Every structure is written in structure tokens, then in C-alpha cells.
Structure 1
Amino acid sequence: MFKIDKHQNRIEKLEQSSFTELGFRERAHLQEWLANKPDALGEELLIIQKEFAGFSDTSERLDLLAIDKQGSLVIIENKLDDTGRDVTWQAIKYASYCSRLTKDDIRQIFQSYLDRYSFGSKAEDELCAFLDADEYQEVVLNKGVTQRIMLVAANFRKEVTSTVLWLASFKLRIQCFRVTPFSRGEDLFLTIDQIIPTKDAEEFMIGLAAKAQDEIEGVEAEKARYTLRREFWSVLLAAINPRTDLFRTVAPGIRNWLSVNTGRRGISLALVVRRESARVEVYIDVGSKESNEHLFDTWFRDRTEIEKSFGETLTWERLDDKRACRIKAERPGNVFDREQWPEMIDYMVDAVIRLETAFRDRLAALPAK
């Protein structure tokens, strides 16, 4: 840090010191500075308690407890010249304890603080004023998993910054502030800099964390879908194999379809399940769009006879914007709802057997594979 001398048009370097050298202590000084000037941390905060020890079955105390403009609790942990190795673990514990606090718990905690430091003030009034609420009933506090952590220290160990960055990737709202004292004669100065995430990159890092978490959740959800679909196909194959040899060589998979070749090149019978439907189909892809459409059109001309043999109306999809063609029958059904499985499986097993029967002679009339 430099002091500007306007008269001499020069800058003078200030001497960087440590809190210990200057005789400052964590609770008596740094904590008091922040308690009385919380916006030094870059935003409006309402301090609601110091040395909070309202945790059951533990004698631990967090340094400062605050509320931000969204009504979220903010755990502020202060260290002087060095964070130590365990400050992240300590702060996470406090955040977990505070996650259980109800609106009335917070009101009582704040009222206790006001009774000690601002006698005569009412917690409800102060909270309404800070959160711009007309009535206390409108105030929302500590909603869901919205707790935040602020770590304040002169120096952050690598194991601390590494842990903080990793935790931030899981959308934990955690910030690190470096506080540095300077001296010039009898004059003392203090800088407070947000170093994780840096202020300019904070929005970007939050976006990256949200994206990374969404991707992780997406992968986990996909694994769950794979597992459920494999189980569904296992149940279906156990039901269909005693009735027909069509799928006897097919193993249950993780995809939303099972298919078998009909013995004719490029024509398959398939079972397909989705979140909205369960279907059976004849899929035509014999090599070229023209060949597919020619075969589809030939069968389409005989659709009345084919549907009579099948026993219900079929959906004929020429799929002019694609190479392949499809002929299908489907019913509503959700493969991810186990209660719907019996009805879906009964329909699909019966329908695919009927579909193969309806097309058997026409398939036999085609050139062999």
C-alpha cells in the first residue's frame, strides 16, 4: 500500500505489519472491527450475535453470526496472522449447526445480542428494517441450504485455499478475505481484500460451480435411469421368453430399447420405453432412403389387412425428414414408475408377438439376408 503525497506529487510506501507485531488480538480487535463495520466485507450484513455458542452438546463458539439481504445466515470466522489448518472444517461445522435454526431461534439470538449491545431495540423491528419488510410475518430467514461462510485472516494456508475452491465447486457459498495491517508512524491502516473468489470473477465462478454440479447430478441421474431400465428389461424378458423365441438371445440393457433382427436385412422388431409411452415397432432401414420408402409404401397400401391381423390400428411413420421408416403401436406408460410396469409389460409382450405375426408372411417374401 502507498500513501499519495499530492503536494510533492509522490507516493510513499507504507510498512506492512502483522497483527501480532502491532499488539492486536483476534477477539478484542479484528472481531470488533468487523462487528461494528460489517460492510467492510463488501456487502450489507446485519450482525446478530458475537461468540455464538448456542449449539447443543458442544461448547464451540463461532466468531460472528450475521444475516445478508436475502435472509441467509452468514458464518464469519476470524483468524489473525494465520488461518491454521482446520478453519474450513470448523466453519463447515458451524454452518451445519446453524442450518437447523428456525426463524424464531434467530429472532431470539438477535434479541439477546440487542439486549446486550443496543438495549431497547427489538429484533423484529431491526430485521424488518434490514430486509425491507413491512411486517415481521413477511420476513424469511435461513431458508433451505442457504448458509454462507466467510473466512477472514491475514494469511491463508494452501490446504485451506485448496479446500475452499473444491467446496465452492459444489455450490457451497464460501468466501475468503485477506486482512492486512499497515503502519506509518502512529497511523495504522487496514486493507480487506476478497481473494476467493476474486470479486471480479465471483459471478463467473458461481456459474461454473452451478454448471459442474448440474453435470454431476445429471451423471448420477443417468446412472439411476440405466439401472432402472436394465431391471425393467429383465422383468420383460422373463415374461416374453416363455411365449416366443423372438428375444431369447437378447440380454437386458441400459438403453430405452431392445431390438431383434427379423431375418431380413435392415428390418428389425423393437420394444421401446420412454417416460411417456411404451411401444412396439417395425423399423425399416434397408440401406437407402428410396429403398426404405418403397418398402414402407408397399406395406402401407396393405395397411387395412395388416392392421386387421395385428388387431389394432398402427401408426405409420414414413419419416420423410429421415432415412429410416417406422410402423408402431404404443400406449401411455412411464418406465420410471414401477407401479406401471405390469400393465406396460403385458401390453408390449402381447403386442410385439402380434406385430411379428402380422408381418411374418410379408417378411418371408422379401429377399433373404
Structure 2
Amino acid sequence: MYFYDKENNELVEVEETTYSENNLKERENIEEWIRKNPSILDEELLIISHEYDKFEIRERLDLLAIDKEGSLVILELKKDESGSNVDFQALKYCSYCSTLKPAEIIEIYQEYIEKFKLNINSEESLMNHLEIESLDLLNNILNNQQKIILASSNFDKRILSVSAWLANNNIDIRCFSVKPYIKNDELIVDIELLIPPKNINDYVIKKSENNNLQGKISQPIEIVQFFENIVINASKSKLKVLYYDQKTYCHLKIPKKKINIGLVIKKNIPNFTIEIVAKGEVEKQYLFDVYEKKKMLIEEKLGIEFSIESNGKFNPNWGRLLYSLPLDRSLALEKYVESIGNLYINISIIFKELLV
């Protein structure tokens, strides 16, 4: 690393140092830096636990996080030298965490919130991070996969070799160098991704690709295409329906209201669910009042009756209007685009007008 000496118009090398030489500790300093700002590891992570030690085998996990796809991320941090067994240690923790159920993850996060006296709601924070509108969807998203992040000032070559092999065999593992430097008694920390290394093909100019095909698609292409067709058809009715290709639902936001209209395909239940979700006590009461006053009109126009869920499973301040239709999994989803899509669009048009 170099800094620019303006007076002499030259680059001057910055002296490398160690955390020990600067009286910096693994738990009090490095863990805290990453806990408070996990984005320094080039990831959109939500930290949900710090020094978790409630496994049956009493071992302490440095940090536990959730990424934007709902995967659990195990973070193991070392100060000046990774040692030769940190990879096995991380794999152990990964195996332990793979058994955690969504309710247990929420409980772990709640303990973290109370430990650090954060003024947030665990369920709402998780949903905001995952960009989902229904707590019921957490069961379909949380902890479907596990990932490992290792961070250290210096890595043992054996660790990098094992990590590279794991990465090449589709185990999501990353190694970050978190190296300290000293300049005029000030500490500078340089963070670099070592594993997996950058792909040389990333720098090759290639034919422009369709944006819809870029990035990781975690849902089957049939589901993605179904919802993308719903979005296209809704736009013809001037509805801005949102869909992310890692989810199994799309939704429309009611302007200036904490109310969304969603179309959901649940993995474990063979049906489509159209849900109108009010996120808050005031919004819930408003939604239910409008529905009761306009119930006959709604049923006349749509030919359906909604069921009412007055208390959310995890958040009692939330409320929903629900309508479900059967899904025959032996049929291609494209067969439902017109019938289900048109019903969802008509519901959205009517409620958008009523809830303004």
C-alpha cells in the first residue's frame, strides 16, 4: 500500500504492522468493526448474533449473519494469523447452524437485539432485510443455505488451499484479508477478497446480455417467468407490480399506505394466495374498515370473498385479507398466467382505488 506525497510528487510505501503491535484485540476490535459495519466485507449482511455459544457442544461462533437471500452466514475472524484449523472450525459451525429452524433464528436474533439494546423488531427487521412482505414467507426463505466468511490479517497457506478447493466444489466460502498498516501513528486497514479470486473473464468485454438473465436466479425459471408475465400484464393496466427473481411472490404497494397486495406461491402448499397485507395497527384497522364497508361491492365485482386474518403469526399488529386458489402442480405454471393473473390484477385495481 502506498500514499501520495504531494510535496515530492511520489508514492511512499505505508508500513505494514500487526494488530498485536497496536494493542488491538480480536474480539474487542476486529469483531466490533465487522459487527457494526458488515458491508466492509462487500456483502449486504444483517448481523443476528455475536459470540453465539448455545450449541449442544459449547463452542463460540464469532458472528452469525443473514444475507439478502436468507442464507445463514458464519463469520470466523482471526487477528494476526488464521492458524491451520480455522477452516474446519467454520465448517463445524456451518453444520451446527444448518439445523436451525426459522423460529430458532428469530429467537437468536431477538437475543442479539436485547443484548445490544437495539430499538427494532426482530421480525420486521428480517423482513425489511429480505425485502419480503409476509412473515409467513420466512419459513420458505430462511436458512435454505449456509455460507462461510473467514477474515484474518494473514492466512495459513493450507487454509487458502482448502478454501479454494471448497469454493471450486460449490461451497460458498470467502476469505478476506484484513491487513493493518501504520502511517503517522494512524492505523489504516486494507480489506481484500482472496478466495474466490476475481475471474479474469469479469474484465473481458463481451456481448451485452439481457438484464433479466444476469445474476443468480434462485427460483426455478418456470416460477420466474410466471411472475414476470404477471408484472408485464399488470403494467398494461398501469399497475407497478414488483418482483425479484429470488422470491416466490410479487406485490403492489399502495401509495402512502403501509399496505401491499401480493400474489404468493407457497412451496409446501399447492395453492396460489392473494393477500392484502396491512403492516401496522392503524393500517390494519383502516383496511378492515374499508373491506367491511365495501364488501358487497367487492364481492359483486370479483365474485369472491376474502378471509380475514386479524393478527399476524409473528406480529399481532399486522392484518391480512386472504384468498386462495388451488394449484395443480402437474400443469405448467404458464397455464395460470391469464386466469390467476387477471384475478390478481382486478383485485389490485379495485383495492388501489378503495384504499387511496
TM-score (norm 1): 0.52
Cα offset, 1:186, TM superposition: 2.3
- Is the Cα–Cα contact under 8 Å of residues 52 and 61 in structure 2 kept in the other structure? yes
How far apart are the structure 1 equivalents of 2:106 and 2:183? 43
Are 2:116 and 1:117 equivalent residues in the alignment?
yes
How far apart are the structure 2 equivalents of 1:2 and 1:37? 25
Cα offset, 1:134, TM superposition: 1.7
How far apart are the structure 2 equivalents of 1:203 and 1:106? 36
Q: Give the 3 Å change call, closer, same or farther, for CA 88–202 of structure 1 in structure 2.
A: farther
Q: Give the 3 Å change call, closer, same or farther, for CA 194–173 of structure 1 in structure 2.
A: same
Q: Give the 3 Å change call, closer, same or farther, for CA 190–96 of structure 1 in structure 2.
A: same
Question: CA RMSD, aligned part only?
Answer: 1.9
Percent identity (aligned): 38
Show the counterpart of 1:96: 95
Q: How is 1:190-229 mapped onto 2 (pairs within 5 angstroms)? A: 190-200=189-199
Cα offset, 1:156, TM superposition: 1.1
| Alignment deviations for residues 299-357 of structure 1 (CA, whole Å, 9 cap, x no partner) | xxxxxxxxxxxxxxxxxxxxxxxxxxxxxxxxxxxxxxxxxxxxxxxxxxxxxxxxxxx
Cα offset, 1:143, TM superposition: 3.9
Show the counterpart of 2:19: 19
Are 2:170 and 1:175 equivalent residues in the alignment?
no
Q: Give the 3 Å change call, closer, same or farther, for CA 201–74 of structure 1 in structure 2.
A: farther
Q: Give the 3 Å change call, closer, same or farther, for CA 71–5 of structure 1 in structure 2.
A: same
Show the counterpart of 2:46: 46
Q: Give the 3 Å change call, closer, same or farther, for CA 136–4 of structure 1 in structure 2.
A: farther
Are 2:21 and 1:33 equivalent residues in the alignment?
no
| Alignment deviations for residues 85-123 of structure 1 (CA, whole Å, 9 cap, x no partner) | 110110000000000001111101001101121333110
Q: How is 1:342-361 mapped onto 2 (pairs within 5 angstroms)? A: none
| Alignment deviations for residues 192-225 of structure 1 (CA, whole Å, 9 cap, x no partner) | 1010112446989xxxxxxxxxxxxxxxxxxxxx
* Paired residue type of 2:171: L
How far apart are the structure 2 equivalents of 1:117 and 1:29? 16
Q: Give the 3 Å change call, closer, same or farther, for CA 202–93 of structure 1 in structure 2.
A: farther
How far apart are the structure 2 equivalents of 1:188 and 1:128? 37
Cα offset, 1:188, TM superposition: 1.0
- Is the Cα–Cα contact under 8 Å of residues 175 and 194 in structure 1 kept in the other structure? yes
* Paired residue type of 2:13: K
Cα offset, 1:3, TM superposition: 1.4
Across the two proteins, how many residue pairs are aligned to each other?
202
How far apart are the structure 2 equivalents of 1:14 and 1:154? 16
Q: Give the 3 Å change call, closer, same or farther, for CA 198–158 of structure 1 in structure 2.
A: same
How far apart are the structure 1 equivalents of 2:23 and 2:122? 35
- Is the Cα–Cα contact under 8 Å of residues 100 and 143 in structure 2 kept in the other structure? no
TM-score (norm 2): 0.54
In terms of Rg, which structure is larger?
A: 1
Q: Give the 3 Å change call, closer, same or farther, for CA 104–92 of structure 1 in structure 2.
A: same
* Paired residue type of 2:103: D
> What is the DSSP-based 3-state SS (H/G/I as helix, E as strand, rest coil) of the residue aligned with 1:198?
coil
- Is the Cα–Cα contact under 8 Å of residues 182 and 190 in structure 1 kept in the other structure? yes
How far apart are the structure 1 equivalents of 2:120 and 2:196? 36
* Paired residue type of 2:99: R
Q: Give the 3 Å change call, closer, same or farther, for CA 87–182 of structure 1 in structure 2.
A: same
Q: How is 1:1-369 mapped onto 2 (pairs within 5 angstroms)? A: 1-6=1-6, 8-56=8-56, 58-139=57-138, 140-144=140-144, 146-200=145-199
Q: Give the 3 Å change call, closer, same or farther, for CA 6–131 of structure 1 in structure 2.
A: farther
